[in-house]
């Protein structure tokens, strides 16, 4: 156990905020049992009080104490995917206060696999509420530097854990009412889960139209229209594409053709495109093939 992790746990115990790495993106953590700590988390994040946050645990056993009902499907998914990039929405038990659920009858539970996240959870000994460590509506951080850029002195400590391996947020499955639904696709796909993607009746920030968005207006462009779009550019543009740079374009970032590798680089790329200070961002649409569901979901939100 490193000294940094011990310090982080002390900060959490004192009601402070600690950003920490997970395998998906960096989270902004607070003591999920403390109303005061949660109020500070919501204020820094800029998230509306009636939106829920995900609670992180060391084990399925600990996580399920926060649920009033654990359907067999939840046990099976936990067995198969935890620790890992999956969040389960279940009916909440009395452990889960209104200040983590946004006053809703369900709660989001996740057991992350990143070793630093696991060390922190173990050292703190209690569940940690953690939305992605960005301000509300902005691109999620995949490095400690991204967190510092976004949150600055508003976060008491940022634990270093390198670049997030997956790069996009966890898959969210809602098991709190009737038919299981994927609320947010991630590395674990709806196909792999054998479930439909669907909308939630619940208020959740990831479900909002414009989310995960760069500041520069961004558009999704099909491959066969990219050349024409570029030839018609009137302003300085930054392009995110699969092919080699086009000399007519001011700033060009090339992305891998593999969806997992693409996801890993996506948020850092969006930040870089934003940083290029262009007037527009063009993003080449990924191929209409399976495996791109989660990336496409984030690109749609970034360009909505
Ligand atoms: O990968 C992840 O899930 C990251 C890392 C840090 O674990 N966390 C993350 O949290 O993405 P956040 O808060 O940025 O996004 C969680 C999404 C939000 O859209 C939130 O509203 C939704 O999950 N959510 C949380 N609890 C929910 C609930 N009870 N019902 C429906 N949606 C819920
Ligand atoms: Mg988020």
The per-residue pLDDT for range 36-71, each reduced to its tens digit, is: 999 999 999 998 989 999 999 999 999 999 999 999
Kindly tell me the burial class for residue 177, based on how many C-beta atoms sit within 10 Å of its own C-beta (0-12, 13-18, 19 or more).
middle
95 pLDDT exceeds 60?
A: yes
Does residue 202's CB lie within 6 angstroms of at least one atom of ligand 1? yes
Ligand 1 pocket mutation pick from 54, 110, 174 by most atoms within 8 angstroms of CB: 54
Q: Please give the backbone phi and psi of residue 174, each rounded to the nearest 5 degrees, phi first.
A: -95, 115
The per-residue pLDDT for range 259-295, each reduced to its tens digit, is: 999 999 999 999 999 999 999 999 999 998 889 999 9
Q: Which tokens go with 213?
A: 């968005």
Nearest Cα neighbor of 157 from 206, 125, 124 is 124
Atom 3 in ligand 1: residue holding the nearest Cα: 170
Ligand nearest to the CA of 100: 1
Name the least confident of 12-16, 76-80, 202-206, 248-252: 202-206
pLDDT at position 288, please? 87
Ligand 1 pocket mutation pick from 42, 52, 56, 66 by most atoms within 8 angstroms of CB: 52
Helices (H) and strands (E) in the chain, counts: 11, 14
SS3 string, 171-200, reads: EEEECCCCCCEEEECCCCCHHHHCCEECCC
pLDDT at position 137, please? 78
19 pLDDT exceeds 50?
A: yes
Euclidean distance between CA atoms 262 and 298, whole angstroms: 12
Q: Estimate to the nearest angstrom the gap between the alpha carbon of 142 and the chain centroid.
A: 9
Nearest ligand 1 atom to alpha carbon 132: 14
- Average pLDDT for 164-185: 95
- Angstrom distances, CA of residue 59 to CA of 46, 54, 67, 118: 29, 15, 13, 10
Confidence of residue 215 (pLDDT cuts 50, 70, 90): confident
Confidence of residue 202 (pLDDT cuts 50, 70, 90): low
Confidence of residue 203 (pLDDT cuts 50, 70, 90): low
Does residue 171's CB lie within 6 angstroms of at least one atom of ligand 1? no
Euclidean distance between CA atoms 292 and 193, whole angstroms: 15
Q: Which residues are 173's β-sheet partners?
A: 88, 182
Cβ neighbors of 208 (< 8 A, separation 6 or more) are 137
Does residue 47's CB lie within 6 angstroms of at least one atom of ligand 1? no
Give yes or no for a contact between 291 and 189, defined as CB atoms under 8 angstroms apart: yes
Ligand nearest to the CA of 90: 1
- Pairing relation of β-strands 171-174 and 86-91? parallel
Atom 19 in ligand 1: residue holding the nearest Cα: 206
pLDDT at position 213, please? 79
3-class DSSP state of 20: strand
- Average pLDDT for 140-159: 97
- Average pLDDT for 178-203: 85
- Average pLDDT for 114-118: 98
Does residue 106's CB lie within 6 angstroms of at least one atom of ligand 1? yes
- Angstrom distances, CA of residue 262 to CA of 95, 225, 254: 38, 21, 10
Residue 241 is given by DSSP the state: E
Nearest ligand 1 atom to alpha carbon 172: 23
Nearest Cα neighbor of 244 from 232, 231, 253, 236 is 253
């Amino acid at each position: 156990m490193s000294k940094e992790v011990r310090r982080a746990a002390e900060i959490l115990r004192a009601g402070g905020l600690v950003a920490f790495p997970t395998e998906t993106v960096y989270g902004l953590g607070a003591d999920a049992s403390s109303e005061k700590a949660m109020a500070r988390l919501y204020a820094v994040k800029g998230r509306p009080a009636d939106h829920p946050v995900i609670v992180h645990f060391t084990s399925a056993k600990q996580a399920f104490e926060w649920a009033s009902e654990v359907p067999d499907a939840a046990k099976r998914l936990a067995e198969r995917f935890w620790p890992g990039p999956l969040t389960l929405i279940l009916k909440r038990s009395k452990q889960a206060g209104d200040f983590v659920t946004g006053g809703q009858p369900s709660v989001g539970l996740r057991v992350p696999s990143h070793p630093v996240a696991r060390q922190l959870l173990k050292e703190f000994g209690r569940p940690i509420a953690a939305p992605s460590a960005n301000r509300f509506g902005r691109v999620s951080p995949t490095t400690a530097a991204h967190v510092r850029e976004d949150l600055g002195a508003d976060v008491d400590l940022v634990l270093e854990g390198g670049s997030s391996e997956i790069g996009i947020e966890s898959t969210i499955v809602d098991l709190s009412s009737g038919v299981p639904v994927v609320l947010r696709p991630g590395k674990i796909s709806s196909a792999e889960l054998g479930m439909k993607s669907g909308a939630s009746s619940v208020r959740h920030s990831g479900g909002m139209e414009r989310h995960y968005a760069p500041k520069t207006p961004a558009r999704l462009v099909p491959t066969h229209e990219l050349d024409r779009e570029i030839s018609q550019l009137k302003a300085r543009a930054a392009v995110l594409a699969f092919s080699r740079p086009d000399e007519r374009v001011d700033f060009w970032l090339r992305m891998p053709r593999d969806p997992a590798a693409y996801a890993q680089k996506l948020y850092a790329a969006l930040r870089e495109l934003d940083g290029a200070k262009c007037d527009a961002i063009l993003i080449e649409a990924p191929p209409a093939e399976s495996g791109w569901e989660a990336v496409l979901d984030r690109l749609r939100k970034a360009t909505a």
